[in-house]
Amino acid sequence: MKIKLELYGASREFSEKNYLEFSLKEKSSINDLRNEILSFIDKNFKGNNNFKKLVESSKFCSEQNNIVADSYKITKDQKIGIIPPIGGG
């Protein structure tokens, strides 16, 4: 499956684009996606600890605009938003 990870807040530092793309196995979970992102940080940012902490403390948002649990199964190609800790207002 192809996942387009939409970047928000501090996670925008992960790419010059607004998104990253990952290929995941069928029926992967959000937790699997999180691990893929952590591997991406290891590979592209020498394991940048701040970036890894950011990924670990982030939630994820489905294409239907719901915050989803780590156990949520991704069943098809889709967009997922990474939602780092918030601080608006």
Partner 1 sequence: MLHVKIIDVSKEKIDLVKAQKFIASSKCGASIYFVGTVRDQNDNKKVTGITYDSHDALVIKSFEEIYKETETKFKFNNIAVFIEHIKGYAALGDTSIIIAVACKHRTQAYDLSRFIIEEIKKRTPIWKKEHYENKDSEWLKGNPIKSG
Nearest by Cα to 3 from 85, 86, 81? 81
The reply to whether 17 sits near partner 1 by the rule CB under 8 A is no
The reply to whether 89 sits near partner 1 by the rule CB under 8 A is yes
Residue in 1, 4, 10, 72 binding partner 1, rule: CB under 8 A: 10
Min dist. Cβ of residue 58 to partner 1 (A): 8
The reply to whether 88 sits near partner 1 by the rule CB under 8 A is yes
67 to each of 15, 21, 72, how far by Cα in Å?
22, 19, 10
Residue in 17, 43, 65, 76 binding partner 1, rule: CB under 8 A: 65
Number of neighbours of residue 10 by Cβ within 10 angstroms: 15
